[in-house]
């Protein structure tokens, strides 16, 4: 094992029982810091995800002069500086592994009139950024990338931005959000039309901070020049993190697990719909609204799953949950087919190829396609799987151990902390036979 690496070692079998609350929603945590920093007044956030990605966003705004207290036990207090109160940082803003931070900040900072550089780690620096910088350039932004269209991003001050009406070529909440956030600083109206619905946390939270956003069908519009008013935000538990436990309890005989206070945003709940189509037993209890976001408790019990053809309209509603869903497919009877998910190839890793490679190690027939995968359900064996530093790959294969016939070693798991600090401890408490080995 490499120096400074983290591996998961798992014994086969077990079931998941009891009740637990997974950490706060990463998407909402990012946006709470961004909008709270630019609001007038003091915003208080509870349930903030203290993972590496959202902490990178927090540090970036501290570096631009925002006074932020916390995080302490998920509580953060933001003393907003107003729409034009950010100061130039001392050096580049290092966003670590967080693609959300980089893409959203590219939009939010494009019209600030500041000279800024956004950098990240090797993984983030290999991810495509032109899908964001090109529409921002149409608005008048000046953002340089490398010749390959990747980070670092150099943002140059411009006189002003102007609104555009942009049709997204591919459904992407990050690109949509970047354009809308730039639109806050643009003259006139900025509109984005989506080919399919994507997560709408940006629109919901802008409204929560008192900024009018108009949605009609798949078109979202706002007018620049307004202001944000401080508010309090209670971040629900992240459905993307809950997804691993939804899959684990579904595939492991004897499981009966309650997941508390999970965000049930209708643009994010595709994982529940897909698992139910496969035959999963998931109950939604105590559904209510917190700060404009629906939340509920989810009770999931073991059920025999069957392979399905995943409806393409559900793909954007479950884009981050597919590594976990591939494990469900491996344990299902028959064939599962995914199409229309080419975005999975440009995440923290090529999630289609990396999951296919790992499933094959465990004895499952998995055939990658350009925009998806075909998985034949079967009997999982043991072995060594490489996560390629991708947090969701690591957690997905950890759940596979519940149905494996031999022990599993998952290599390169340190990045699990980006979205789910304390994953191994929480999973062990629920019944997963997991140990963490540090190099």
- Residue spans of the domains in the chain: they are 6-24+237-438, 26-234
Angle of helix 322-331 versus helix 270-277 axis, rounded to 10? 10
Catalytic residues: 320
pTM here is 0.86
What dotted CATH number matches 6-24+237-438? 3.65.10.10
pLDDT per 10-residue tile (average), the chain, 439 residues: 78 98 94 97 96 95 98 97 98 95 98 97 93 98 97 97 96 95 98 93 94 97 98 95 98 98 94 98 94 92 98 92 98 98 87 97 97 97 95 97 98 90 96 95
At 439 the pLDDT is 80
Q: Are 348 and 387 in contact (CB under 8 A)?
A: no
The number of C-alpha atoms within 13 Å of 171 and in the hemisphere containing its C-beta is 22
Report the C-alpha dihedral over residues 114, 50, 327, 121, rounded to 10 degrees. Answer: 40
Q: Are 173 and 198 in contact (CB under 8 A)?
A: yes
Tokens of 396: 């997905």
What dotted CATH number matches 26-234? 3.65.10.10
């Amino acid at each position: 094992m490499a120096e400074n690496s983290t591996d998961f070692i798992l014994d086969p079998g077990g079931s998941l029982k009891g009740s637990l609350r997974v950490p706060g929603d990463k998407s909402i945590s990012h946006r709470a810091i961004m909008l709270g920093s630019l609001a007038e007044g003091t915003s208080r956030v509870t349930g903030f995800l203290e993972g590496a990605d959202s902490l990178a966003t927090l540090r970036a705004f501290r570096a631009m002069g925002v006074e932020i207290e916390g995080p302490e036990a998920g509580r953060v207090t933001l003393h907003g500086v107003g729409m034009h109160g950010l100061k130039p940082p001392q050096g580049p803003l290092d966003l670590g592994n967080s693609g959300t931070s980089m893409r959203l900040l590219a939009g939010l900072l494009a019209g600030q009139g500041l000279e800024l550089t956004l950098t990240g780690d090797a993984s983030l620096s290999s991810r495509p950024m032109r899908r964001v910088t090109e529409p921002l350039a149409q608005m008048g932004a000046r953002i340089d990338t490398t010749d390959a269209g990747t980070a670092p991003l150099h943002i140059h001050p411009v006189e002003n931005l102007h609104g555009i009406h942009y049709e997204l070529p591919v459904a992407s909440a990050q690109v949509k959000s970047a354009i809308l956030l730039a639109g806050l600083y643009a003259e006139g109206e900025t509109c984005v039309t989506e080919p399919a619905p994507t997560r709408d946390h940006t629109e919901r939270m802008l409204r929560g901070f008192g900024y009018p956003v108009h949605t009609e069908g798949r078109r979202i519009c706002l007018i620049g020049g307004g202001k944000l008013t401080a508010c309090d935000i209670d971040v629900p538990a992240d459905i993307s993190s809950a997804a691993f436990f939804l899959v684990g309890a579904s595939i492991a005989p004897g499981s009966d697990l309650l997941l508390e206070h999970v965000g049930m945003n209708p643009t994010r709940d595709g994982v529940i719909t897909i698992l139910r189509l496969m035959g999963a037993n998931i109950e939604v209890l105590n559904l209510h609204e917190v700060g404009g976001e629906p939340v509920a408790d989810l009770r999931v019990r073991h059920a025999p799953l069957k392979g399905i053809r995943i409806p393409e309209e559900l793909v954007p509603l479950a884009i981050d949950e597919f590594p976990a869903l591939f494990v469900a497919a491996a344990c299902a009877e028959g064939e599962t087919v995914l199409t229309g998910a080419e975005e999975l190839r440009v995440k923290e890793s090529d999630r289609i190829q990396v999951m296919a490679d790992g499933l094959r190690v465990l004895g499952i027939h998995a055939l990658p396609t350009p925009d998806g995968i075909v998985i034949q359900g079967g009997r999982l064996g043991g072995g060594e799987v490489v996560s390629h530093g991708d947090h969701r790959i690591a957690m997905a294969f950890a759940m596979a151990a519940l149905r494996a016939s031999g022990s599993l070693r998952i290599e390169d798991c340190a990045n699990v902390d980006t979205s789910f600090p304390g994953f191994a401890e929480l999973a062990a408490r629920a019944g997963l036979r997991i140990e963490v080995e540090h190099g």
